[in-house]
Amino acid sequence: MMKRLRLLPGCALVAFLLLAAAPAPAPVLADDAKVAVLNPLGQPPPIARVPMAPRLDSLDGKTVYIVDIGFTDTHQFFTEMQKLLGERYPKTKWEVRTKTGTYFDDDPKLWAEIKEKGHAMIMGVGH
């Protein structure tokens, strides 16, 4: 790509005469000269899309798990959710579980239980 450069007025001749003895002075870019710069960003990994689980056509007769990730002193939020959903959807079984460990830890046992006995899961993330 061509860069439009403009030398300082009056300096061109001096620069020419000194070329053999010293490095040429850096050209000064005009205010509207375009500059090419490198991208500062790193390389994100490709994203493997995960097909989402099919939704329920009806809640009646279904078991829906409500999972508390275990952040301190938030369990009451999930039991209130269970209570309210139970009142509005009495034909649905609303099961509250607390994931084991800290919120960084996986809980394969719980996921296996939900896959076996549940039809959907609501997870609460946050604090």
Partner 1 sequence: MKTYAFKKGMPGFRFTFVPHPITGIPAELCNKYLQGSDPLTGKPVLGEIIDAITRPLSAEDASGGVIERPTPRLVAADTEENLHKLFLENGWTDGLPVVLPTEARVAEMLKGTSHEPDEVVGAMQASSPHEAWSYTVEQVAVNAVMAGAKPEHLPVILAIASMGGTSISTSTTSFAGMVVVNGPVREELKMNSGIGALGPFNHSNAVIGRAWTLISLNLGASGKPGEIYMGSLGNNYNYNNLCFPENEEDLPEGWNPLHVQKGFKPGESVVSTFLGWGFTHPDQSFGKPFHDQIPFWLKFVSPFSSTTLLLDPTIIKQLKENEGFGSKEQLIDWIHKNTKVTVGAWLDDYYAVQNFVLPYGRQGQEPLATWMKMPRDAEIPQFRSPGNINVLSLGGGTNFFWQAGDFGYLASASVDKWR
Asked if 49 touches partner 1 (CB under 8 A), the answer is: yes
Which lies closer to partner 1 via its Cβ, residue 17 or residue 102? 102
Q: Nearest-CA neighbor of 7 among 25, 22, 21?
A: 25
Asked if 60 touches partner 1 (CB under 8 A), the answer is: no
Looking up tokens 């056509």 gives 57
Asked if 91 touches partner 1 (CB under 8 A), the answer is: no
Q: How far apart are CA 102 and CA 111, in angstroms?
A: 16
Which lies closer to partner 1 via its Cβ, residue 7 or residue 56? 56
Which lies closer to partner 1 via its Cβ, residue 84 or residue 112? 84
Asked if 6 touches partner 1 (CB under 8 A), the answer is: no
Q: How far apart are CA 33 and CA 36, in angstroms?
A: 10
Contact 95, 86 (CB under 8 A): no
> What DSSP designation does 45 have?
P
Which of 79, 86, 90, 106 binds partner 1 (CB under 8 A)? It is 79
Which lies closer to partner 1 via its Cβ, residue 17 or residue 72? 72
Contact 123, 77 (CB under 8 A): no
Q: How far apart are CA 6 and CA 9, in angstroms?
A: 8
Footprint on this chain of partner 1 (rule: CB under 8 A): 1, 29, 31-52, 54-59, 64, 70-74, 76-77, 79-81, 83-85, 88-89, 100-105, 120, 122, 125-127
